Structure 1
């Protein structure tokens, strides 16, 4: 692959951009034609000049057109994926509840819906391959190569194969019924087999198509549409992908993102539980079952588990385990976000630190004043006891000494608290305190310097006076 390099060259009539390549074929062609290499007036460059700014502008326009086509293909792909999923959901609900039209039976409606779902799936796969083809073309334009093998790496090939495999799953007409055992605490029920339509098992994996919605969110996000953001991210070796966009949205609007994701997860998994469990019970009425399993999802999501609603199939238990795992992750994330919101900012910490330091300083000064007062009272009571030796004055001396000891202990406690407060201060207060101390010391040095200058000037005047006196005499 040719290494491409773009450099700004100046203004005026000269080209602003020149592209250079390290392709050896050009070097061999030059040697064969025996053309002397021209030295660039802008200094040494890597390789040989390919074109001028016009080529750069054309490539930029081509990339912009391909990017617009890529976004449109992503939008159409999402619409087709959701259309196929909605058709499959309608088909399952009609087959489960037995709703039919007057002029058409349930089997005929199901055949039409599943055929439409297959047609939308085929169109979805074609659009998905076109999307990756456009993406490879964009990468070829960015790297300046004409070889498609550069864009089609092993990782991209595996990604395309995985996406096509996920999107290819859809219900097929006349798929039949599958029997699986029923899970229960009653031994008689465990021997029963539950008939499950194969179309249900083919519809549930269709929800994996929501990865296209994640891609849609990335392409329509503010981070991806803003050229400055993408440029700064590329300079810092950060890819503007779903992970980066999701983390950015979680940082800016955490509660909104968590709420939307939780509600969508509850609705999707509740409907899936309804399809897994509705055939294990003789009762029908999917809407009521959906509400029951929505309640089950919410209490399982938050690890409450009242036990009033149970699951009796392997599919239901698997979804319940998935709900518990996702609920634990969401709950821990919510706790972390709330904890982050409750943490004081640096300015708030500084305000509280200043107030606490002022209060402790006042208490420290008050305790020091109390020590001085009690010391003076102890000395006074001792003098009175030495002049008048009696029990009354002896008790007064003892009370004064106790008060002095109590004030000394209070003074030590406040001094210790003040020391701990100074140790807990952040770098801002440490730097500010060091700056103030340095400023005080410099002020003292300046005062001493001014005094020294004054004395030197006086000494100089005295020496001048003595010199004049000696000369006159």
Structure 2
């Protein structure tokens, strides 16, 4: 923690002195001495390797500080949420069981939650300040207006608004309408503390967990991965990290996300519904609504547990939507796991093709055997046209017809199997056929070369004989 404070102090001093020097030194330095790119005052020229090294060290230091700030904001956000949840439980116990001695403890918990919230807001602002500084170092500019865009300002204000929600001491109650199939109960109202309603939106602080996953992921920490991603115009953000984790460990990610969602929404449903039924304990409420969450998540809905408030109905609809998305994703992942790989398809294809080929050969052999038997029976019938020979001839003809039909079926199966083969087998078969044809062409070419060589030798022999004959005639 001491090194973390020193690093923050060094960055603030370095940044303040840098910006003060830019503000005060503008009038002293000449216009020509300012760094410029393409004739404009934007960017910093890196003329030597020392400047590049310094900027790389600066960026590395800022990146490490950014990761530490993300860890601190996550700890503060979770701590404030846990304190608010404890306060809600103590408040519910004090109201439903009329136990007054926990009021001081509730005040202490809310005050501590407010302190952690203020610290969280400060560290969030400092986190975005460091993020802007990293962008300025990466772009090589000294103008801070480049890093502050309207989108960044809106995102920062939205984060501050989400993280600023926390229970306040000495808050009152709000009338909560109770919904039921009975008309008398529908007109009733239940008083719920405002601190409970302020605690429910605090679960939106879990977005910091997504940022923590990105900054601590192997894709973001590996420089080669970030470089290849930037070259392919891919941002290493939460979407990319989540898709990578889903591709590598889909069941683990879905299981952990489902369990966390069930527990959080069950606790929220307990706070929305527990004041309508003060006779039931809080743990019993939580167990019932955990069962309700799981049943609604998978779109079963037995109807044994119902919600009686608008807050509960809203959370039930959210559960149904999220459950539908998770179920479809789970089905897609299971179907992807059940798909055979190319190697497995090749093994099955080879086995099936060999089996059908053997059946086709056996069917062809049966056709030949039955044809020969039919010819023999027809000769016997021609020699002696008895009733016995007639039955034998008819029987052999029926067997021949059945064997012909079996041969046609196996030939059709073999043709369909060849048509269903994948691209690998098609390319491999075409390669083998091309290789056989090239082999035949090479053999014919070698034979032709031998014949041409023999013809050339004969022509040479004939030429020498003619020349010898001419010399003899001249003499």
TM-score interval (norm. to shorter)? 0.7 to 0.9
Map 1:278-357; keep pairs closer than 5 Å.
Answer: 278-357=274-353
Query: Which residue, out of 61, 66, 79, partners 2:62?
Result: 66
Contact 2:46 2:52 in 1 (8 A): no
Contact 2:269 2:315 in 1 (8 A): yes
Shift of 1:117: 1.3
Q: 2:428 aligns to what SS in structure 1? A: helix
- Which consecutive residues of structure 2, in runs of 5 or more, have no partner in the other structure? 1-34
User: Which residue does the alignment assign to 1:147?
Assistant: 143
Query: Which residue, out of 171, 174, 187, partners 1:175?
Result: 171
Instruction: Find the aligned partners of 1:287 and 1:260 in 2 and give their Cα distance.
Output: 22
Shift of 1:313: 0.6
Q: 1:196 aligns to what SS in structure 2? A: strand
Map 1:235-314; keep pairs closer than 5 Å.
Answer: 235-314=231-310
Over 3 Å counting, the alpha-carbon distance change for 1:457 and 1:380 in structure 2 is: farther
Shift of 1:383: 2.2
User: Which residue does the alignment assign to 1:106?
Assistant: 102
List per-residue Cα deviations over 1:349-395 (Å, max 9, x = no partner).
11111111100110111111111112222222222222323333233
Shift of 1:466: 5.3
- Say whether residues 1:222 and 2:218 are aligned partners: yes
User: Which residue does the alignment assign to 1:39?
Assistant: none
- Say whether residues 1:96 and 2:92 are aligned partners: yes
Q: 1:194 aligns to what SS in structure 2? A: strand
Contact 2:44 2:140 in 1 (8 A): no
Shift of 1:409: 1.3
Contact 2:44 2:142 in 1 (8 A): no
Over 3 Å counting, the alpha-carbon distance change for 1:468 and 1:388 in structure 2 is: farther
Moved more, 461-470 or 108-117: 461-470
User: Which residue does the alignment assign to 2:113?
Assistant: 117
Map 1:389-404; keep pairs closer than 5 Å.
Answer: 389-404=385-400
Shift of 1:448: 2.3
- Say whether residues 1:409 and 2:400 are aligned partners: no
Which of the two has greater helix per residue? 2
Moved more, 392-401 or 136-145: 392-401
RMSD: 2.2
Contact 1:271 1:290 in 2 (8 A): yes
Query: Which residue, out of 216, 228, 234, partners 1:232?
Result: 228
Question: TM-score, normalising length from structure 1?
Answer: 0.87
Question: TM-score, normalising length from structure 2?
Answer: 0.86
Contact 1:125 1:164 in 2 (8 A): yes
User: Which residue does the alignment assign to 1:24?
Assistant: 39
- Which consecutive residues of structure 1, in runs of 5 or more, have no partner in the other structure? 1-19, 28-46
Over 3 Å counting, the alpha-carbon distance change for 1:48 and 1:442 in structure 2 is: same
Moved more, 385-394 or 431-440: 385-394
Contact 1:99 1:106 in 2 (8 A): no
Instruction: Find the aligned partners of 1:421 and 1:211 in 2 and give their Cα distance.
Output: 53
User: Which residue does the alignment assign to 2:49?
Assistant: 53
Instruction: Find the aligned partners of 2:395 and 2:429 in 1 and give their Cα distance.
Output: 41
Q: Alignment length, in residue pairs? A: 432
Instruction: Find the aligned partners of 1:398 and 1:461 in 2 and give their Cα distance.
Output: 69
Shift of 1:282: 2.7
Over 3 Å counting, the alpha-carbon distance change for 1:301 and 1:392 in structure 2 is: same
User: Which residue does the alignment assign to 1:453?
Assistant: 449
Contact 2:37 2:45 in 1 (8 A): no
Q: 1:180 aligns to what SS in structure 2? A: strand
User: Which residue does the alignment assign to 2:156?
Assistant: 160
